Copies of this chain bind each other. A is one copy, B any other.
Amino acid sequence: MPDPTVISIDAMGGDFGPPVIVPGLAGETGHWRAKNARFLLHGDEAAISAELKAAPEFGQLCEIRHTDRAIAGDEKPAQAVRRGKGTSLWNAVEAIRDGRANAAVSAGNSGALMAISKLILRMAVADLERPAFVAPWPSSFGLTTVLDVGANIDCDAHRLIEFAIMGAAFHRAMHGVERPRVALLNVGEEDQKGHEEVREAHRLLREGAFVADYRGFVEGDDIYSGVVDVIVTDGFAGNVALKTAEGTSQFILGELRAALGATLRGRIAAVLARSAFTRLRARIEPDRGVPLLGLSGIVVKAHGGADARGFASAVRVAVDLAQSDYAAEIKRNLEKLTVPQQSQSVEKLG
């Protein structure tokens, strides 16, 4: 039997801590056994043990690593880096560097997780300011991988290609799609559309062998259409898209409630349709963990407000990535983007 995959868990992160995280993981004990996964639970030993008592079978897959320190949800990244040593989040990430874990999962403070992960693990993609954020976006046919949705604001063509490489590797590892279709987000589909950075990345992706199936430009409404698997954009436009989509769905669901509440027929309809609305909400807001892309190591961020199922699904992401060829594939493809390719590009521009 091969070595187990060890996932390092920040048990104190997120809005709820051990009372949600431990039962969430315990509920999928069969899956972890099948995947040969084990856990290091970082945090308050008493709180974690109390939860494990109710789940003795799951407890056999765990070791507790006690610390009484944790990072607050509102702590600034710079402060978290200075004072974070010995906290549950820090220790969870450090276990990867020290070879004791294959991946880490935290529902804690995003900025702190990003800064501490970068400090401890370093970037595998040296050119990035910080790990890229990827969003699993619901579409009519499943989930589309969109990145960067807010970590790296200024992006030249080179950086956009790095996102394409990482996004394709992530999508393949997560969804088993052999040749993910990759596109660049733009304001139109013709070659001359958009700013210089996106046009240059388009030219290089079409010519280069960075991703197997490059499909050109798509527009904002294509994020939902499922015409491609991976959509690449800079962190500014990506964050605007993500927040606008959140705002749009909140607005529509609010208006829907108001429209139904305005009449008796509507109120009856709302009662009849309750389970349909619950399914709708689950489709619109997929509660998935997202990896911080570009680090030397697998760190997955669970949503701060994740419930037991949501946290467990983030841990499934960590297990799947750790057991895939993801990290090696990114490394192989990034190597194509080094000196020879760059000088070739400069020559052509000159």
Write the residues of chain A forming the contact surface with B, with a CB cutoff of 8 angstroms: 138-140, 150, 153-154, 185, 187, 194-195, 219-225, 233, 235-237, 239-256, 259-260, 262-263, 265-266, 268-270, 272-273, 275-277, 279-280, 283-284
Query: What B residues does A280 contact at CB under 8 A?
Result: 252, 255-256, 259
Give 14 CB contacts A-B under 8 Å: A140-B251, A150-B187, A187-B239, A194-B236, A219-B243, A220-B241, A221-B244, A224-B247, A233-B240, A240-B240, A248-B248, A251-B284, A259-B280, A268-B269
The residue in chain B whose Cβ has the minimal distance to the Cβ of A154 is B195
The residue in chain B whose Cβ has the minimal distance to the Cβ of A138 is B251
- In the complex, the answer to whether A195 meets B255 with C-beta atoms within 8 Å is no
- In the complex, the answer to whether A247 meets B223 with C-beta atoms within 8 Å is yes
- In the complex, the answer to whether B239 meets A221 with C-beta atoms within 8 Å is no
Query: What B residues does A223 contact at CB under 8 A?
Result: 244, 247
Query: What B residues does A254 contact at CB under 8 A?
Result: 140
Query: What B residues does A262 contact at CB under 8 A?
Result: 276, 279
The residue in chain B whose Cβ has the minimal distance to the Cβ of A151 is B187
- In the complex, the answer to whether B266 meets A239 with C-beta atoms within 8 Å is no
Q: How many copies does the complex hold?
A: 2
- In the complex, the answer to whether A272 meets B268 with C-beta atoms within 8 Å is yes
Query: How many Å lie between the Cα of A299 and that of B76 in the bound state?
Result: 48
- In the complex, the answer to whether A153 meets B194 with C-beta atoms within 8 Å is yes
The residue in chain B whose Cβ has the minimal distance to the Cβ of A219 is B243
Query: How many Å lie between the Cα of A260 and that of B155 in the bound state?
Result: 42
Least CB distance from A153 to B in Å reads 5
**Other-chain residue from B154, B242, B265 in contact with A273 (beta carbon distance below 8 A):** B265
- In the complex, the answer to whether A249 meets B247 with C-beta atoms within 8 Å is no
Query: How many Å lie between the Cα of A89 and that of B109 in the bound state?
Result: 56
Query: What B residues does A236 contact at CB under 8 A?
Result: 187, 194-195, 237
Query: How many Å lie between the Cα of A58 and that of B241 in the bound state?
Result: 45
- In the complex, the answer to whether A269 meets B259 with C-beta atoms within 8 Å is no
Query: What B residues does A225 contact at CB under 8 A?
Result: 247
The residue in chain B whose Cβ has the minimal distance to the Cβ of A220 is B243
Query: How many Å lie between the Cα of A258 and that of B254 in the bound state?
Result: 19
Query: What B residues does A260 contact at CB under 8 A?
Result: 273, 276
Least CB distance from A220 to B in Å reads 3
Query: How many Å lie between the Cα of A255 and that of B138 in the bound state?
Result: 11
**Other-chain residue from B154, B240, B256 in contact with A237 (beta carbon distance below 8 A):** B240
Query: What B residues does A253 contact at CB under 8 A?
Result: 252
Query: What B residues does A187 contact at CB under 8 A?
Result: 150, 153, 235-236, 239-240
- In the complex, the answer to whether A250 meets B224 with C-beta atoms within 8 Å is yes
- In the complex, the answer to whether B249 meets A252 with C-beta atoms within 8 Å is yes
- In the complex, the answer to whether B272 meets A255 with C-beta atoms within 8 Å is no
Query: How many Å lie between the Cα of A221 and that of B239 in the bound state?
Result: 10
Query: What B residues does A239 contact at CB under 8 A?
Result: 187, 219-220
Least CB distance from A283 to B in Å reads 5
Least CB distance from A190 to B in Å reads 11
Query: What B residues does A219 contact at CB under 8 A?
Result: 239-240, 243
